[in-house]
Structure 1
Amino acid sequence: MSAQDAGVFEFIERVDNHVSIDGLLDDLLQVVAGYGFQHMIYTGLPAGDSSIAPLVKSNRFPQAWWDRYVESDYAKSDAVCQQVFSRVEPLVWSEVDERFTAIDGAARVAGEAAEHGLADGYVVPLFSRDEWLSVMSFGGADKLLLNPRDRGAINLMAIYTSSMIERRQRKQPGRARLSAREREVLLWTSAGKSCWEISVILNVSEQTVRFHTAQIRAKLNASNTTHAVVRALQQGEITLGQLADSLGDIH
């Protein structure tokens, strides 16, 4: 057994011993660095017009790149995402079929990712309790040369890591609170303002408003805006006075 293979099995033996998810991911990144990776993300994939942002379980991608990815809603034109949707199988990013790389905007996504140190990578589809399809995706600055043994090792580590994260998050549920900007967006939405109108009021892009709206629904586990307002009131995220003030702004 090679030293690299031994490192994989030693990592698997350590998985359940980690006190925190951050510690587990630090360990994983150190092991996969031997395969050419410096970054990773574990996230659900969005269906339809949904945003990917609320589906992220753990993000170790460069923050500047991820902010751009979310802001520009790149998941819809990301060739890797679209192939995973189609085939649900592990793959090296640079091996994506031409029919997906030909999608409008796909070349731009790949080019900008490379500018942020994500020239190539490897993605492993996974199934979680929260999303119908999740992935653990690893990225690096150079083109990858992964043989079948390497791919199997990465698949195995991804499966063990995601399983550990799922168990840990199930044992330690926590409700994420709305940010000040999310409360502001929710109140303007409750006043009947459209995403475009809110973007003008707050001097941000319409896509940013849509991102905040998706985050609000995810954090409150709400199916729509009305449901989100009710749950926000129930959980003390907004008050009746704030809601009355926002409704008064309609006139």
Structure 2
Amino acid sequence: MHVDEKFFELLESINAAPDQTSILERMRGVAADNGYNHFIISGLPPRGVGVEPFVLAAHWPDSWYSRYFERDYTQFDPVARNCFRTILPFYWSEAQYDRSDDLMAQRVMDEAGDCGLKAGFCVPIHTQDGMQGCVSFGGDTRDLDPNSRNAIHLVATYAFARLRSLRRPARLTMPKLTGREVEVLKWMSHGKSSEDIANVLGLSHRTVEFHYNNASRKLGTMNRTHAVAEALRYNLIPL
């Protein structure tokens, strides 16, 4: 998967999708293009709370879907637990747990494999309003090149955001950002941290965060990756 004009058309189609079915269709294509057969898009509940009401969309094997919820595997799932520890996408095999001692975690992974989910790739989601979630792809073992990993990260962020926004009123007008907000997002698009941007613009770290938070709120985005992508989509910053 490459970041080109067609890729941004995909993001636009997800962002404008009228319903869950439309997003499922597009995400099936994304999964297949990257060698995966299945995926799930879900919020992650606090410990002790069932996960099923948090699921936004799923294309999971029926046998695994029902077993996972009936046995409340979320609290034991090492992939789900790892989403609370990192903001970066990861292969399921990178979710650390003690294979000799954490028998329930091993059971979850073994049974997932028995249901056709032998390996996978997961994108953690951390929203500005404090919600934790993930977009997780499963199937056979795959090696993704860095460009594909980054592209999947962005697509997953858009899909999660759109599914949540379908439950909220739509934004009707193009957001109006201040010059400083645009500058901050422009430097973020170049991979600069808030501290880097503060040094470049001669501002305090706190002021940079203030402008970013305002821009993100106006754009209706969940995190920096999402904010930069929306700014690019609206042509507020150069590609």
Do both share a fold (TM > 0.5)?
yes
Q: What interval of TM-score do these two structures reach, taking the shorter chain for normalisation?
A: 0.5 to 0.7
For structure 2, the 5+ residue unaligned runs are 171-239
**Alignment equivalent of 2:149, drawn from 134, 148, 151:** 151
SS of match in other structure, 1:89? coil
In structure 1, the residue matched to 2:17 is: 18
In structure 2, the residue matched to 1:41 is: 40
Q: Is the 8 A contact 1:52 1:70 kept in 2?
A: yes
* 2:122 matches 1:107: no
In structure 2, the residue matched to 1:170 is: 168
In structure 1, the residue matched to 2:119 is: 120
Q: Map of 1:123-202 to 2, 5 A cutoff? A: 123-128=122-127, 132-140=131-139, 142-171=140-169
Alignment root-mean-square deviation, CA? 2.4
In structure 2, the residue matched to 1:78 is: 77
| 1:100/1:166 CA distance change after superposition, 3 Å | farther
What TM-score comes out, normalization by structure 2 length?
Answer: 0.63
Alpha-carbon deviation of 1:72? 1.2
C-alpha offsets along residues 62-92 of structure 1, whole Å, 9 cap, x if unaligned?
Answer: 1221110111111121111122223343211
The whole-number CA distance in structure 2 between the counterparts of 1:165 and 1:26 is 13
Q: Which of structures 1 and 2 has the bigger CA Rg?
A: 1
SS of match in other structure, 1:57? strand
Q: Is the 8 A contact 2:119 2:141 kept in 1?
A: yes
The whole-number CA distance in structure 2 between the counterparts of 1:100 and 1:156 is 31
Q: Is the 8 A contact 1:77 1:104 kept in 2?
A: no
- Work out the number of aligned pairs and report it: 169
Q: Map of 1:31-70 to 2, 5 A cutoff? A: 31-70=30-69
Q: Is the 8 A contact 1:43 1:58 kept in 2?
A: yes
Identity of aligned residues (%): 31
Normalized per residue, the structure richer in helix is: 1
The whole-number CA distance in structure 2 between the counterparts of 1:91 and 1:33 is 18
C-alpha offsets along residues 160-181 of structure 1, whole Å, 9 cap, x if unaligned?
Answer: 1112212212139xxxxxxxxx
Residue 10 of structure 1 aligns to which amino acid in structure 2?
Answer: E
What TM-score comes out, normalization by structure 1 length?
Answer: 0.60
Q: Is the 8 A contact 1:122 1:139 kept in 2?
A: yes
In structure 2, the residue matched to 1:198 is: none
Q: Is the 8 A contact 1:122 1:137 kept in 2?
A: yes
Alpha-carbon deviation of 1:25? 1.7
